[in-house]
């Protein structure tokens, strides 16, 4: 008995009313009486004492069952008639117990039959179910009639008495995927066969700046260091990050920051040297997501803005900028691409050309890809392919224009071409001019910032392919490298997530090395190509000094370089 009371106290303390109710019944059965057990039930369940007679156990069991039925009816919110019927049964059993005559108590089976006949009984009785359902329906109809005359209730959330409007035909069609006259240019077809609106591009507070600027005449050592200190201070004051290479010949930068901070830097640079920087093409991209911002700022001294491996101190002699290609706008570039007797040279590296390139029309310019892993290979390529260029009209292009400056000057110094033009602002400005269809551009433009690539809005061409399964792919998201030369290579999501059972990253080959492996191992060309690949592999696949600002790596955020002339800083939230 005491143990049972302790269990009851624990259940009540924990708020477990259902368990407490069962324990109360057991306790009452042992004490020989039945009473209401909760405040809510006291008004609904009468006290039914049981006198200690010879028939106490039998009557107590009947009373306990009747009481549990009544408690369940009260707890479940049964209608008044059901509760009154259960209550009358319990009172009749109580009266029988009070007379101490078991025969006076109605038979349990008889009571069950009476209950079913009078009110439909348990849910197992089909007739009872029908009666209760019919009664509920009548009551609901009466309630609806009463509610019609009442105004709609308005609270924090507006509730209207009228049903919500049906979905629009466009939304319904998008959900069902049925054919209709809906414009689906801004929708995408999901794997489940349904059409959904295209996800909107993330809009953030980050602006991106791409720029390069050559100075004439070249800076002295002191002037270069002054430029490093000036630009570092302006960028840090305006909350900008990224990479800025500073050579005796000028700047090459990829920077990010708030829109007003980026523009303040551009204006400060113009005021610093109006002659050299007044007409610079500052390429600004606004509204990028916050995760596209560079985490740190690095401004440092270099020998060349783009590393072509020219003789130190003799760069202007070998490739004078004043004799480089003529800048042409995107419209003229497109027109020239259809001319015969013209070659178009892509001055970018192989990992960039793998995901996008220009496609001149049939019968127009011949596209030449130098198939370089780094820019230092370009001078040798020019010498080896002089016959393909000699006497031709030459068009040259790169990501944003800087690599063409020195490359076109180097080509002009050799006297091979009839004339040389370069795409003004590079692929970046071309896609600005043809943002929807991309003009004659196909695929993605590889970028040296945290966008990684960008292309035309409505162009579906995928130029690249997975180095494992060979299906179309254009994203370098897997950080996969060629097993032979260590250059980054494309690996699709399926192969990346397939594990070693599907893809062994140690056996992947970039598209250049895949061609090497397809050649006879004894051929001289294969041997030379393999030697070049292994030479590049010794650098770990690194390409410092390549492209417009060079790809931003995590180690660039570390304050590791204290050499004179180099300035590096972390933003305030990282220094914390």
Rg (CA), the chain: 42
| Cα–Cα distance, 9 to 12 (Å, whole number) | 5
Burial (Cβ within 10 Å: 0-12, 13-18, ≥19) of residue 551: buried
Q: What is the maximal distance between C-alpha atoms in the chain?
A: 129
Query: What is the CB-side half-sphere exposure of residue 191 using CA atoms within 13 A?
Result: 0
| Cα–Cα distance, 10 to 25 (Å, whole number) | 15
Spatial contact of 359 and 334, defined as CB atoms under 8 Å apart: no
Q: How many CB atoms lie within 10 A of CB 312?
A: 8
> Could you give the dihedral angle defined by the CA atoms of residues 273, 276, 279 and 284, in that order, rounded to the nearest 10 degrees?
-70
- CA separation (Å) from 76 to 42, 79, 235? 16, 9, 71
Q: How many CB atoms lie within 10 A of CB 50?
A: 24
Catalytic residues: 398
| Cα–Cα distance, 263 to 259 (Å, whole number) | 6
DSSP secondary structure string for all residues of 30-85: HHT-B---SHHHHTTS--B-----TTHHHHHHHHHHHHHHHHHHHHTT--HHHHHH
| Cα–Cα distance, 295 to 311 (Å, whole number) | 35
Spatial contact of 533 and 485, defined as CB atoms under 8 Å apart: yes
Task: Please report how the helices 511-518 and 524-537 are oriented relative to each other, as an axis angle in degrees rounded to 10.
Answer: 150
Give the SS3 label for residue 293.
coil
Spatial contact of 145 and 136, defined as CB atoms under 8 Å apart: no
Phi and psi of 250, rounded to 5°?
Answer: 140, -150
Q: Are strands 445-446 and 453-454 parallel, antiparallel or unpaired?
A: antiparallel
| Cα–Cα distance, 372 to 378 (Å, whole number) | 7
Q: How many CB atoms lie within 10 A of CB 320?
A: 14
Question: Pick from 239, 217, 216, 219: which is nearest to 228 by CA?
Answer: 219
Element (H, E) at 358: strand 356-358
**Cis (ω within 30 of 0) for the bond into 46?**
no
| Cα–Cα distance, 346 to 353 (Å, whole number) | 8
Q: How many CB atoms lie within 10 A of CB 466?
A: 23
| Cα–Cα distance, 282 to 262 (Å, whole number) | 10
């Amino acid at each position: 008995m005491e143990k049972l009371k302790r269990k009851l106290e624990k259940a009540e303390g924990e708020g477990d009313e259902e368990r407490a109710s069962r324990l109360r019944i057991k306790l009452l059965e042992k004490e020989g009486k039945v009473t209401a057990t909760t405040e809510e039930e006291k008004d609904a369940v009468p006290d039914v004492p049981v006198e200690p007679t010879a028939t106490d156990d039998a009557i107590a069991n009947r009373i306990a069952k009747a009481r549990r039925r009544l408690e369940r009816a009260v707890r479940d919110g049964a209608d008044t008639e059901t509760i009154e019927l259960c209550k009358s049964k319990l009172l009749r059993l109580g009266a029988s117990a009070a007379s101490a005559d078991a025969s006076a108590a109605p038979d349990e089976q008889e009571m069950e039959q009476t209950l079913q006949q009078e009110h439909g009984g348990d849910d197992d009785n089909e007739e009872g179910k029908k009666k209760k359902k019919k009664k509920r329906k009548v009551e609901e109809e009466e309630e609806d009639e009463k509610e019609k005359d009442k105004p709609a209730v308005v609270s924090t959330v507006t509730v209207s008495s009228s049903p919500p409007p049906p979905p629009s035909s466009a939304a319904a069609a998008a959900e069902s995927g049925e054919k209709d006259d809906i414009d689906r240019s801004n929708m995408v077809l999901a794997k489940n066969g349904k059409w959904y609106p295209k996800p909107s591009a993330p809009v953030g507070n980050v602006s991106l700046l791409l720029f390069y600027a050559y100075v004439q005449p070249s800076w002295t050592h002191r002037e270069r260091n002054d430029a490093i200190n000036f630009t570092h201070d302006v960028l840090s004051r305006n909350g900008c990050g990224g990479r800025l290479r500073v050579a005796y010949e000028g700047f090459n930068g990829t920077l990010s920051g708030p829109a007003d901070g980026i523009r303040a830097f551009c204006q400060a640079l113009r005021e610093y040297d109006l002659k050299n920087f007044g007409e610079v093409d500052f390429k600004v991209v606004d509204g990028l997501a916050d995760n596209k911002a560079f985490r740190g700022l690095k401004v440092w001294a270099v020998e060349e803005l783009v590393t072509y491996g020219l003789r130190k101190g003799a760069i202007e002699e070998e490739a004078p900028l004043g004799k480089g290609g003529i800048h042409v706008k995107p419209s003229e570039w497109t027109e020239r691409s259809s001319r015969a007797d013209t070659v178009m040279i892509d001055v970018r590296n192989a990992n960039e050309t793998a995901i996008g390139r220009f496609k001149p029309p049939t019968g127009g310019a011949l596209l030449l890809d130098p198939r370089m892993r780094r820019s230092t290979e370009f001078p040798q390529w020019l010498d080896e392919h002089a016959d393909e260029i000699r006497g031709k009209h030459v068009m040259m292009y790169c990501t944003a224009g800087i690599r063409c400056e020195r490359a076109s000057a180097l080509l002009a110094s050799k006297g091979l071409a009839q004339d040389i033009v370069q795409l003004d602002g590079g692929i970046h400005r071309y896609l600005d001019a043809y943002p929807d269809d991309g003009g004659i551009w196909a695929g993605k433009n590889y970028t040296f910032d945290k966008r990684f690539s960008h292309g035309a809005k409505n162009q579906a061409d995928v130029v690249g392919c997975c180095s494992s399964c060979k299906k179309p792919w254009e994203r370098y998201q897997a950080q996969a490298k060629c097993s032979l030369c260590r250059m980054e290579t494309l690996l699709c999501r399926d192969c990346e997530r397939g594990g070693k059972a599907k893809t062994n990253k140690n056996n992947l080959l970039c598209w250049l090395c895949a061609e090497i492996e397809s050649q006879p191992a004894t051929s001289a060309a294969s041997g030379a190509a393999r030697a070049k690949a292994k030479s590049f592999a010794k650098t770990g696949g690194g390409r410092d000094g390549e492209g417009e600002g060079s790809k931003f790596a995590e180690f660039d955020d570390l304050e590791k370089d204290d050499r004179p002339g180099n300035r590096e800083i972390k933003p305030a939230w990282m220094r914390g």
